Amino acid sequence: MRRPENLKLFPEAPHKTPVDPFYHETWARDLGYKLIAGVDEAGRGPLAGPVVAAAVVLPEGVRLSGIKDSKKMTARARFETFHTIMGAALTFGIGVVSVSYIEKFNILQASLEAMLRAIKALDPQPEIILVDGIHAVPIPTRQKCLKKGDQISRSISAASVLAKVYRDRIMVSHHRTYPAYGFDKNKGYGTRRHLEALREYGPSPVHRLTFKGVVVV
């Protein structure tokens, strides 16, 4: 007996494939949307510093082929493409949410707030949003949440680079004020040197006290 063929993914657009980094942008354009924003955040996991999000609207036809998930790029590559993205984007926005906000609410709510602020900074405002992850941003604009979106959507990848580089610069600034923790190197993540500094000096004002490992008892 002949086995039935598997149903194809994304049957609404059989001529395209999800490996195309503009697959989801093309899907949105096919629905009539012209202003499509990719949104991502940086800084959910560190023990110190803010969470930062970026939103980017790329014009149709702009490929930015050297850009991918910021975590898979070297620091130099991210730095070099940071200004390229800003120059190529139709509009971009950055949202920064402080440690105090993270402590008052939680890191998920802080991340969504940072994304919201980044989106609100866009001019013109987007017609549809592609969001990295599974949680929708609290805004009425139509949106599509994409797991590992920074790996499959060029717009989200561009946003991930802006957010990461912007946040890294903030952490380098914090390093000048609190050099003992090595923020210029670890960007607030819990490296061995960072944890040793916490044990020796205790937390700084930019540490997230509700995160495990920050307060030594």
Digit-coded pLDDT (tens) for 7-25? 334 444 444 445 899 999 9
Q: Residue 74's pLDDT is what?
A: 87
User: Residues near 162 by Cβ (< 8 Å), separated by ≥ 6?
Assistant: 54, 56, 82, 85, 86, 92, 94
Give the SS3 label for residue 212. coil
User: Residues near 144 by Cβ (< 8 Å), separated by ≥ 6?
Assistant: 24, 28, 128, 129, 130, 131
Percent of the chain with pLDDT over 70: 91
* Calpha distance 198→48 (Å, rounded): 11
- Cβ-defined contacts of 171-176 (< 8 Å, 24+): 171/48, 171/49, 174/48, 174/49, 174/204, 174/206
Q: Residue 18's pLDDT is what?
A: 58
**Domain parsing of the chain, residue ranges:** 23-169
Q: Residue 49's pLDDT is what?
A: 98
**CB contact at 8 A, 107 and 44:** yes
Identify the architecture of domain 23-169 in CATH: 2-Layer Sandwich (3.30)
Mean pLDDT (the chain) is 91
pTM of the model: 0.90
**Minimal CA–CA distance to 25: which of 37, 12, 17?**
37
Note the residue count of the chain. 217
Q: What is the pLDDT of residues 42-93, one digit of tens each?
A: 999 999 999 999 999 999 999 998 888 788 888 899 989 999 999 999 999 9
